């Protein structure tokens, strides 16, 4: 059975039919930051489907709201935001006379409609807690293989496959008929994974949804910054004015791509820097990572033991498409370990640091070939099975009935900065990459010095995880730690009340 067959079976089993509602007129939606926006009646019909409404209950940043209390935004409003952003980008291209090559106004209108709908549907492949469940999805071989083949993320691949299913094909056929439009679910699916049928002429359309400077990125950077309170300077409006379309020579031939004119270089740099700052301020915040590493083994166990959640038996990571954050947090199980973990996550009884691993916590005088050894350590994060084995090694060293629910090693992947090397900036008659126009060495240095890994554990095993972790990293990687590796973990011992009174010290009462 192919992955498409599996997704088709899942959708057929879950949704008896995806009805096309009769929405009489367009609707106005108000947003706290970006103001008032209009959605057409056929867009509301899509928004009202169960597959999109489910996104209301999937947090954009997982459980980051346990650390950043106002980060309560969901995949739902982000999806609407991407639709709004791609609308602005497309209209900016029109105003800049960049779409004159599309002579047929009906084709141009269909492109516009399909891009807005792609924005609405681009995240329907997400599971509970967004990118946390995506880690488990990426461990499922059929998803892993096809995501690599298509050059996309697991959630993008699943959205792509869902739009190819019989139910969705029928839904769009009815939508076209009822609302007298002519849109292609195949085009929408392709945009989500950054593809088009004819890249020589149309690659820029996919770039607007999934490219180097896409609507998804522009929305989530602004949204995550706003809702977490991590304020960043973003020149998005200035960037929109500088967007263009041009033919670029790529490794696989000439393509008409989305480009940025010279005046957009500064806002593009701002967005790149903002992405890095969000990574280290929010996504890689040690408490956010600690919570993630409590959820990950829980999700693995749910799949492994085929737990039933909200009436759905979770037999594979694909079944995460049937549930949301609340289903996991409210999961009641006869399995005490699972129930206790869910309660701990809800009550914010989270893992704490046992050991801090960074360039600043390694004793370089006692560690030979520090640079090479540390690079080897960072690369380890790219090998999921090796990471599982390393964590199991630590668990066995700790002993005392320690399990994967008690301790976790976190060696985060460094942020991908593919935007640096893409030649999309037009200077005079040629195209350059960001890395060619600005000094990017400081970015790489920043990344290297900000990288920080951890050993997390619950209170019971915290000290032992530290001791055995130091032992493990010295034996496996040849790394020796300085005093800050333990000091920065901030393990404090509970104050024990002294049972003696003043008479014990020769002082009368």
Determine the pLDDT at residue 34. 86
Determine the pLDDT at residue 445. 65
Look at strands 253-261 and 425-427 and give their pairing: parallel
Burial of 457 (0-12, 13-18, 19+ CB in 10 A): buried
> CA separation (Å) from 229 to 56, 58, 67, 70, 385?
21, 20, 11, 8, 36
Q: What is the CATH number of domain 3-283?
A: 1.10.3210.10
**What whole-number distance in Å separates Cα of residue 150 and Cα of residue 157?**
8
Determine the pLDDT at residue 157. 98
Determine the pLDDT at residue 493. 61
* Segments making up each domain of the chain, as ranges: 3-283, 352-414+451-492
Determine the pLDDT at residue 437. 59
Strands (E), 358-496: 407-410, 425-427, 430-432, 453-457
Determine the pLDDT at residue 194. 96
Global pTM value: 0.91
Residue written as token pair 């999700």: 299
Residue 185: what are its φ and ψ, rounded to 5°? -60, -25
Q: pLDDT 10s digit of each residue in the chain, 509 long?
A: 899 999 999 999 888 778 888 999 999 999 988 899 999 999 999 999 999 999 999 999 999 999 999 999 999 999 999 999 999 999 999 999 999 999 899 999 999 999 999 999 999 999 999 999 999 999 999 999 999 999 999 999 999 999 999 999 999 999 999 999 999 999 999 999 999 999 999 999 999 999 988 999 999 999 999 999 998 878 899 999 999 999 988 888 899 999 999 888 888 888 888 888 898 899 999 999 999 999 999 999 999 999 999 989 999 999 999 999 999 988 867 777 888 888 888 888 999 999 999 988 999 888 888 888 888 888 888 888 899 999 999 999 999 899 999 999 999 987 776 666 677 888 777 877 776 656 555 566 666 678 899 999 999 999 999 999 999 999 998 899 999 999 999 987 653 344 455 455 455 44
């Amino acid at each position: 059975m192919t992955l498409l067959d599996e997704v088709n079976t899942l959708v057929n089993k879950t949704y008896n039919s995806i009805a096309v509602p009769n929405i009489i007129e367009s609707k106005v939606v108000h947003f706290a930051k970006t103001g008032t926006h209009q959605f057409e009646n056929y867009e509301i019909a899509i928004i009202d489907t169960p597959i999109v409404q489910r996104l209301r209950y999937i947090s954009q940043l997982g459980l980051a709201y346990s650390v950043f209390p106002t980060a309560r935004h969901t995949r739902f409003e982000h999806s609407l935001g991407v639709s709004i952003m791609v609308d602005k980008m497309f209209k900016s291209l029109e105003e800049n006379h960049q779409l004159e090559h599309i002579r047929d106004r009906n084709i141009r209108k269909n492109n516009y409609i399909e891009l807005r709908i792609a924005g609405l549907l681009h995240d329907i492949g997400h599971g509970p807690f967004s990118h946390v469940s995506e880690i488990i999805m990426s461990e499922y071989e059929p998803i892993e293989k096809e995501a690599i083949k298509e050059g996309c993320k697991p959630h993008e691949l699943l959205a792509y496959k869902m739009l190819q299913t019989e139910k969705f094909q029928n839904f769009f056929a009815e939508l076209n008929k009822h609302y007298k439009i002519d849109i292609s679910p195949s085009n929408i699916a392709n945009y989500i994974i950054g593809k088009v049928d004819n890249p020589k002429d149309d690659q820029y359309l996919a770039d607007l949804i999934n490219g180097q400077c896409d609507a998804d990125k522009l929305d989530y950077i602004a949204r995550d910054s706003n809702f977490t309170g991590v304020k960043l300077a973003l020149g998005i409006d200035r960037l929109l004015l500088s967007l263009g379309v041009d033919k670029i020579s790529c490794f696989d031939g000439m393509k008409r791509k989305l480009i940025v004119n010279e005046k957009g270089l500064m806002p593009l740099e701002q967005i790149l820097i903002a992405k890095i700052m969000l990574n280290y301020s929010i996504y890689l915040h040690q408490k956010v990572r600690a919570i993630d590493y409590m959820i990950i083994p829980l999700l693995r166990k749910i799949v492994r033991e085929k737990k039933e959640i909200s009436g759905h038996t979770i037999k594979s990571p694909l079944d995460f498409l049937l549930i949301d954050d609340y289903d996991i947090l409210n999961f009641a199980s006869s399995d005490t370990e699972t129930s206790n973990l869910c309660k701990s996550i809800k009550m914010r009884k989270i893992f704490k640091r046992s050991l801090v691993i960074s360039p600043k916590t390694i004793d370089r005088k006692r560690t030979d070939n520090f640079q090479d050894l540390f690079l080897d350590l960072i690369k380890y994060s790219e090998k999921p099975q090796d990471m599982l084995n390393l964590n199991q090694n630590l668990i066995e060293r700790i002993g005392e009935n320690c399990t994967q629910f008690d301790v976790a090693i976190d060696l985060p992947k460094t942020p991908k900065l593919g935007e640096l090397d893409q030649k999309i900036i037009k200077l005079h008659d040629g195209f350059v990459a960001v890395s060619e126009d600005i000094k990017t060495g400081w970015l790489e240095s920043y990344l290297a010095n900000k990288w920080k890994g951890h050993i997390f554990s619950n209170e019971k095993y915290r000290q032992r995880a530290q001791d055995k972790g130091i032992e493990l990293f010295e034996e496996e990687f040849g790394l020796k730690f300085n005093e800050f590796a333990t000091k920065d973990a901030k393990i404090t011992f509970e104050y024990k009340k002294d049972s003696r009174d003043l008479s014990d010290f020769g002082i009368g009462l």
